[in-house]
Amino acid sequence: MKHSSTKSLILLFVFAFLSTAYLAFGAKESQPFEAKLFADGVQRADVKVDSYSFEPNHIVVVVNKPVKFTLKSVTKIIPHNFTINYPEAGLNVDQDISPGKEAKITFTPTKTGSYEFYCNKKGIFRSHQKRGMKGILEVR
Ligand SMILES: [Cu+2]
């Protein structure tokens, strides 16, 4: 009897470890983040800008309602940028963000779909976009 409960305890620990590892791994995947629709009809989201990422990097908005993003740089030296370029869908932004500063952008998506945004800065060897500084704007 004692032996079998030790076995169950070990199994429990293994299970707990595996689920923790699974959660930690899963957290790296981009979870769709829905911009909040305020009473004034504007959808807002804060986007953390780092080297070399946007967080969140999958943002969901509703079509035909204005969107305001506050882009908050947390870098010390490296300047970044937020570009989304689909004029046919109302998406036409090219905004630089100085290190440690904030920039606000406003646009109104006019077509549903998934659109890529990215940083248009170039490093010495690779563009920031190639280093993973990109994301998806999902217009529903
Ligand atoms: Cu960048």
Report the pLDDT value the prediction gives residue 16, as an integer from 0 to 100: 54
How far is it, in rounded angstroms, from Cα 94 to Cα 87?
12
Same domain, 38 and 106: yes
Same domain, 59 and 19: no
Q: Is the pLDDT of residue 4 over 70?
A: no
> What is the distance in A from the centroid of ligand 1 to the CA of 35?
22
pTM over 0.85: no
Same domain, 38 and 24: no
Q: List, for residues 79-115, the tens digit of each pLDDT value.
A: 999 999 999 999 999 999 999 999 999 999 999 999 9
> What is the distance in A from the centroid of ligand 1 to the CA of 73?
10
> What is the distance in A from the centroid of ligand 1 to the CA of 122?
7
How far is it, in rounded angstroms, from Cα 42 to Cα 22?
36
Q: Which of 58, 50, 117 is nearest to 89 (CA)?
A: 117
Same domain, 15 and 65: no
Phi, psi for 2 (deg, rounded to 5): -60, -40
Rounded alpha-carbon distances, angstroms, from residue 9 to 120, 124, 133: 53, 53, 44
Domain CATH number, residue 62 = 2.60.40.420
